């Protein structure tokens, strides 16, 4: 079974530039998450999708971050403009939807390491 | 407001001995708890979980204990192996998919 795919693995940009990350979840997983992990901290949820709808984006800094999952499969997370404090690993995760129940075990991709200079 | 806390940033253990990683939580609505393991440059991988209706769950060398009254859980690894060296994250959820993570504990198993 193929895992969660993310690209790119690494990205270095200057502050005020824009950047985009891509994620393809495990086939058949209806629920997709983006997490931000700052060095020395645990992952923090940014946004949760179920199919192509947003379930929770309360922690997403909407003035600069945006995310979409247009066809209910892969997803893109964008930052525009980037700030120094956005330097982090951006993790995508997915989980199975069984009937109306979202499985609580999340499968994570390898992440994108973003450095903002 | 840290709802899930891992107070030990690091732990070193001799190979073959027991590793005990601890986690405390404050939100009494949490009803499902998970441990994830993370190697450098990889995403977290699921290790073991426990529902709040249980106080223990075992999977091979890994056992998770839950003390609801103390809002405390622990992960025991017996015997510890050098390949277990990684960062371990405790996570909790009260709603499906909404995982709240601790800050992690770096486990080093010395040969």
Model pLDDT for residues A18-56, shown as the tens digit of each residue: 999 999 999 989 899 999 999 989 999 999 999 889 999
Q: Output the pLDDT for position A99.
A: 63
Q: Point out the least confidently predicted range of A71-75, A94-98, B38-42, B74-78.
A: A94-98
Q: Output the pLDDT for position A1.
A: 63
- Write the CB contacts of B66 (distance below 8 Å, at least 6 apart in sequence): B33, B50, B52, B54, B55, B56, B72, B73
Is the model's pLDDT at B97 over the cut of 70? no
Which residues from chain B sit within 8 angstroms of residue A103, using beta carbons?
96
Model pLDDT for residues A52-99, shown as the tens digit of each residue: 899 999 999 999 999 999 888 999 999 999 999 999 999 999 998 766
Share of chain B above pLDDT 70, in %: 97
Position of tokens 């994570």?
A: A108
Under a CB-based contact definition with an 8 Å cutoff, are residues B48 and B56 in contact?
Answer: no
Is the model's pLDDT at B96 over the cut of 70? no
Mutate to test the interface with A, among B97, B98, B105 (most CBs of A within 10 A): B97
- Write the CB contacts of B28 (distance below 8 Å, at least 6 apart in sequence): B71
Which residues from chain A sit within 8 angstroms of residue B49, using beta carbons?
104-105
């Amino acid at each position: 079974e193929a895992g969660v795919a993310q690209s790119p693995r690494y990205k270095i940009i200057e502050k005020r530039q824009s950047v985009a990350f891509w994620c393809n979840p495990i086939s058949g997983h209806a629920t997709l998450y983006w997490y931000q992990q700052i060095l020395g901290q645990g992952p923090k949820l940014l946004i949760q999708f179920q199919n192509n709808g947003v379930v929770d984006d309360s922690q997403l800094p909407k003035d600069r971050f945006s995310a979409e999952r247009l066809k209910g499969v892969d997803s893109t997370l964008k930052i525009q403009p980037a700030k120094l404090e956005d330097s982090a690993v951006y993790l995508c995760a997915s989980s199975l939807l069984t009937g109306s129940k979202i499985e609580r075990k999340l499968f994570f991709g390898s992440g994108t390491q973003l450095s903002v200079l | 407001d840290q709802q899930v806390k891992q107070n030990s940033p690091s732990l070193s253990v001799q190979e073959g001995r027991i590793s005990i990683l601890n986690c405390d939580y404050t939100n009494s609505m949490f009803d499902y708890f998970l441990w994830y393991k993370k190697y450098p440059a990889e995403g977290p991988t699921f290790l073991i979980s426990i529902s709040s209706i249980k106080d223990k769950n075992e999977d091979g060398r890994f056992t998770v204990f839950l003390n609801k009254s103390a809002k405390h859980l622990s992960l025991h690894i017996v015997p510890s192996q050098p390949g277990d060296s990684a960062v371990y994250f405790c996570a909790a959820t009260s709603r499906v998919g909404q995982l709240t993570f601790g800050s992690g504990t770096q486990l080093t198993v010395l040969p």
